[in-house]
Each structure stands twice: as C-alpha cells, then as structure tokens.
Amino acid sequence: DIVMTQTPLSSPVTLGQPASISCRSSQSLVHSDGNTYLSWLQQRPGQPPRLLIYKISNRFSGVPDRFGGSGAGTDFTLRISRVEPEDVGVYYCMQATQFPLSFGGGTKVEIK
C-alpha cells in the first residue's frame, strides 16, 4: 500500500504571505499509463472536501490561481502564493495511482 506523508501538520501563516505544504509518497505515483495521479483537496471547517489540484499541477475549475501544485515521482508540493482568509482549513494530498487509494494525514492552515 502507498503511504502518503504530509508536512507540516500545521502551518500558521500571515495573511498575504505564501504557504507551502509538502506531500511525500512511499513509492512512485507514476501510473503505467504515464500519468501521475496526485491531487490536492481543501476542507474548510464544517464543509466537505473540495478538489483544488489534480495530476500534480492542474487547477480544477473555479480554483484561484494563487493555488499551485508541483512535483514528480514521490515528492509533491502545494503552494498558496498569498494566503487569503478563506484559505483557512485542512489540506490533503491524495494518490489514485494504485488501490487502495490513500490520503495524506492533512495539514491545517491557520492565520497567525
């Protein structure tokens, strides 16, 4: 099974400043079809998760361009260029390259 490890657990950030979350997988997420099925989700308090990024770096419809994803193989990063108040919540990475699908443990983004 692929284990997804996120760091940090918590990220206090100043409004308008950048934030960065790391996600590492226990094995390569490159699928046999050549794609890397690594996505990022945001979960605001009291809400279901919401897709931000799919296949490492593709923003989902309606996601602001201050969110960006990068990485390859086993190491991935979600960056928020300028944190806004509505960005408060927990962020999860997820792999869908191999069953069982798995999520990172989550990173809580809060305002300093």
Partner 1 sequence: EVELVESGGGLVQPGGSLRLSCVASGFTFSSYWMSWVRQVPGKGLEWVASSEQDSAQYYVDSVKGRFTIFRDSAKNSLYLQMNSLRAEDTAVYYCARSELGAFNYWGQGTLVTVSS
Q: Which two tokens stand for residue 94?
A: 């997820």
Task: Output the smallest distance, CB 57 to partner 1, in A.
Answer: 12
Which of 24, 50, 59, 66 contacts partner 1 by CB under 8 A? 50
Task: Output the smallest distance, CB 54 to partner 1, in A.
Answer: 4
In DSSP notation, 33-98 reads TS-B-EEEEEE-TTS--EEEEETTTEEPTT--TTEEEEEETTEEEEEESS--GGG-EEEEEEE-SS
- Check residue 101 for interaction with partner 1 (CB under 8 A): yes
Task: Output the smallest distance, CB 13 to partner 1, in A.
Answer: 21
Based on C-alpha coordinates, what's the Rg of the chain? 13
Residues that bind partner 1 (CB under 8 A): 31, 35, 37, 39, 41, 43, 48-51, 54-55, 58, 60, 92, 94, 96-97, 99-106
